[in-house]
A and B are shown apart, each in its own frame.
Chain A
Amino acid sequence: MMWQPFFTFFSFAKDCIADIFRPPFRTNLLFKEMELITYQSLPIVTLCLSFAATVTILESSFHMKMVIGDDALVPGFAAVLILREIGAIVTALLIVARAGAAMTAEIALKLITEQIDALKMIGIRPYQFLVAPKIVASSLGVAMLSMLVSIVALVVCGVASHIYLDLSPGLFLAAFHRFANFNDLFVSGFKGFIFGFTIPLICCFFGFQCRGGAEHVGKMTTRGVVMSSIVIIILDFLLSALISHLF
């Protein structure tokens, strides 16, 4: 009985993923979703990640000074942290808050106002029409956004270390070279892909669970956001452990 929700979720996920590969492929919907996820979230994600980058530099320099007493290597550490961890997680959590909640609310409302039944009557599969484009758009979009914004955040790191730590850009690049690899960027992109894949699945699942009126919509939206956040953190832990073992 306790596992019932998991079973429901997995059957839902199975149907959605199967629907991705079923024609007709609605590319215009795909692009619309992608635009929503990436283009509209771009300013907020960039801003937040820049702030997070600056804070990372500040905190890393504090800790470095405590441990070694020299903060010339701070950009290196901070860059690796950003590329591997912070970039992916902050982007994913922000997308959850922005796009994921919107997905849940949209589907919940459509369910309440019986638009889903209308779709079924016309002969369109609701999962394929609503969920599948979101999944594809989200995986690709979050991966792309994650990589792009990570790089922007690194530039901001350079500026921040120049202002707060008095490190010239040359020193920043030198420290950066020592610690960061090109592969770390792909780690961020890969994590973004996985996170982007799970966000619509979970959020739309909760959207489809909505039964009652306005109150339930709110409740389901909340639950969708919360569940996605937790799953993202757990996945991040698993992926980090995996990646640090492999590389």
Chain B
Amino acid sequence: MKAESKVGILFVATVLAIIAFAIAVGVVNPFSNRSELHVMYNYAGGLDKGSPVRVMGIKVGRVKEITFAPNYRHNPTGEEVKLKVTIEVDKAAMDTIREDSQFFINMAGVIGEKYLEITPGSLERKPLPPNSYVRGEDPPRIDQLISQGYGLAGKLIELVNKNENSVNQIFKQIDTLLKNINKTLAHLDKMSEPNDIQRIIKNTAQVTEDLKFITQQIRSEKSQESFKLIHKLLFRLEDVDGKAIKKFFQEEGIKARIFN
């Protein structure tokens, strides 16, 4: 083989290797089965050209480019959204992305490479057509949160500072109240001898027991019958002269007393 052909073979091999490398890295994609989407953000913290795009956590494409769109207003709401992120998504995954899919920017792993996460949409809504514009969810701005946190902490401190007097007073009053309760309890303790109290409690217990017995007896059947009889008797006696009965009972009453 001549020298030229050898060099030629080597050159062709190099070019092929470079192409293979380009495909492996992902720069060129001859198997173009991807469609594009434009996601609009107002803050895309850390997302770069070439960052991965995942649906339900699985990589389906990458961010193609990020451009500024200062004059764009999002369709349904008319909101001014200034950042346009164009992504490429595999066609196989496009069907899962529906009109109510949400587009988040998440951090992957400890090191924190940002990627674009797409939630699957519900079956009721239509799938998104390629090249459509959607509004993504702005990721939380840690720096804003921190500054708000600072603000809140500052306000709390101010509040406490201003009302320091009244807060102090409240505490003092609670203190006094507690002291008083303590004293009262101590007094009670000293005042009542334990024996008296015990006796009173015993008697009360007995009385209530007797009462209970009596009411039980009253409630029993015999008493109920007696009551009913008396009621009938009185009813029959109603025709009789009232005054005579009264007199009778008064005499009876005297007799009862005499008998006793």
Binding site for B on A (CB under 8 A): 28, 31-32, 34-35, 38-39, 42, 141, 144-145, 147-148, 151-152, 154, 173, 176-178, 180-182, 185
- Contact assessment for A148 and B4 in the assembled complex, using a CB-CB cutoff below 8 Å: no
- With a CB–CB cut-off of 8 A, which chain B residues contact A180? 25
- Contact assessment for B21 and A185 in the assembled complex, using a CB-CB cutoff below 8 Å: yes
- With a CB–CB cut-off of 8 A, which chain B residues contact A141? 7
17 pairs from A and B in contact (CB 8 Å cutoff): A31-B3, A31-B4, A34-B3, A34-B7, A35-B7, A39-B7, A42-B10, A144-B10, A147-B14, A147-B17, A151-B17, A151-B18, A176-B24, A177-B26, A178-B113, A182-B21, A185-B18
CB interface residues, B 13-49, toward A, < 8 Å: 13-14, 17-18, 20-22, 24-27
Of all chain A residues, the one with the shortest Cβ separation from B13 is: A148
- Contact assessment for B25 and A152 in the assembled complex, using a CB-CB cutoff below 8 Å: no
- With a CB–CB cut-off of 8 A, which chain B residues contact A185? 18, 21
Q: B6 within 8 Å of A by Cβ? A: yes
Of all chain A residues, the one with the shortest Cβ separation from B21 is: A151
- Contact assessment for A148 and B22 in the assembled complex, using a CB-CB cutoff below 8 Å: no
Please, how many angstroms separate the alpha-carbon atoms of A42 and B4 in the complex?
16
- With a CB–CB cut-off of 8 A, which chain B residues contact A31? 3-4, 7
- Contact assessment for B24 and A148 in the assembled complex, using a CB-CB cutoff below 8 Å: no
- Contact assessment for A35 and B3 in the assembled complex, using a CB-CB cutoff below 8 Å: yes
Q: How far is the CB of B27 from chain A (nearest CB, A)?
A: 5
Please, how many angstroms separate the alpha-carbon atoms of A174 and B20 in the complex?
16
Please, how many angstroms separate the alpha-carbon atoms of A149 and B172 in the complex?
84
Of all chain B residues, the one with the shortest Cβ separation from A40 is: B6
Please, how many angstroms separate the alpha-carbon atoms of A154 and B25 in the complex?
12
Binding site for A on B (CB under 8 A): 3-4, 6-7, 10-11, 13-14, 17-18, 20-22, 24-27, 113
Most buried by B among A28, A176, A177: A177
Q: How far is the CB of B165 from chain A (nearest CB, A)?
A: 55
Q: How far is the CB of A80 from chain B (nearest CB, A)?
A: 12
Q: How far is the CB of B63 from chain A (nearest CB, A)?
A: 13
Q: How far is the CB of A187 from chain B (nearest CB, A)?
A: 13
Of all chain B residues, the one with the shortest Cβ separation from A73 is: B111
- Contact assessment for A181 and B25 in the assembled complex, using a CB-CB cutoff below 8 Å: yes
- With a CB–CB cut-off of 8 A, which chain A residues contact B14? 144-145, 147-148
Residue from the list B10, B17, B22, B27 in contact with A152, Cβ < 8 A:
B17
- With a CB–CB cut-off of 8 A, which chain A residues contact B6? 35, 39
Q: Please judge, given known A-B contacts A35-B6, A38-B7, A39-B7, whether A177 and B25 are in contact too, CB under 8 Å.
A: yes
- Contact assessment for B25 and A38 in the assembled complex, using a CB-CB cutoff below 8 Å: no
- With a CB–CB cut-off of 8 A, which chain A residues contact B21? 151, 154, 182, 185
Q: How far is the CB of A127 from chain B (nearest CB, A)?
A: 22
Please, how many angstroms separate the alpha-carbon atoms of A176 and B24 in the complex?
9
Given contacts A145-B10, A182-B25, 17 further A-B contacts (CB under 8 A): A28-B4, A31-B4, A34-B7, A35-B7, A38-B7, A141-B7, A144-B11, A145-B14, A147-B17, A147-B18, A148-B14, A151-B20, A152-B17, A173-B24, A176-B25, A182-B22, A185-B18
Q: Please judge, given known A-B contacts A35-B3, A177-B26, A182-B25, whether A148 and B20 are in contact too, CB under 8 Å.
A: no
Q: How far is the CB of A188 from chain B (nearest CB, A)?
A: 11
Please, how many angstroms separate the alpha-carbon atoms of A10 and B227 in the complex?
142
Of all chain B residues, the one with the shortest Cβ separation from A137 is: B7
- With a CB–CB cut-off of 8 A, which chain A residues contact B7? 31, 34-35, 38-39, 141
- With a CB–CB cut-off of 8 A, which chain B residues contact A182? 21-22, 25, 27
Please, how many angstroms separate the alpha-carbon atoms of A38 and B10 in the complex?
8
Please, how many angstroms separate the alpha-carbon atoms of A144 and B17 in the complex?
10
- With a CB–CB cut-off of 8 A, which chain A residues contact B113? 178
Please, how many angstroms separate the alpha-carbon atoms of A32 and B14 in the complex?
19
Of all chain B residues, the one with the shortest Cβ separation from A143 is: B14
Q: How far is the CB of B115 from chain A (nearest CB, A)?
A: 11
Q: Please judge, given known A-B contacts A173-B24, A180-B25, A182-B27, whether A32 and B3 are in contact too, CB under 8 Å.
A: yes
Of all chain B residues, the one with the shortest Cβ separation from A146 is: B14
- With a CB–CB cut-off of 8 A, which chain B residues contact A152? 17
Please, how many angstroms separate the alpha-carbon atoms of A154 and B20 in the complex?
12
Q: How far is the CB of B58 from chain A (nearest CB, A)?
A: 12
- With a CB–CB cut-off of 8 A, which chain A residues contact B25? 176-177, 180-182
Please, how many angstroms separate the alpha-carbon atoms of A154 and B27 in the complex?
17
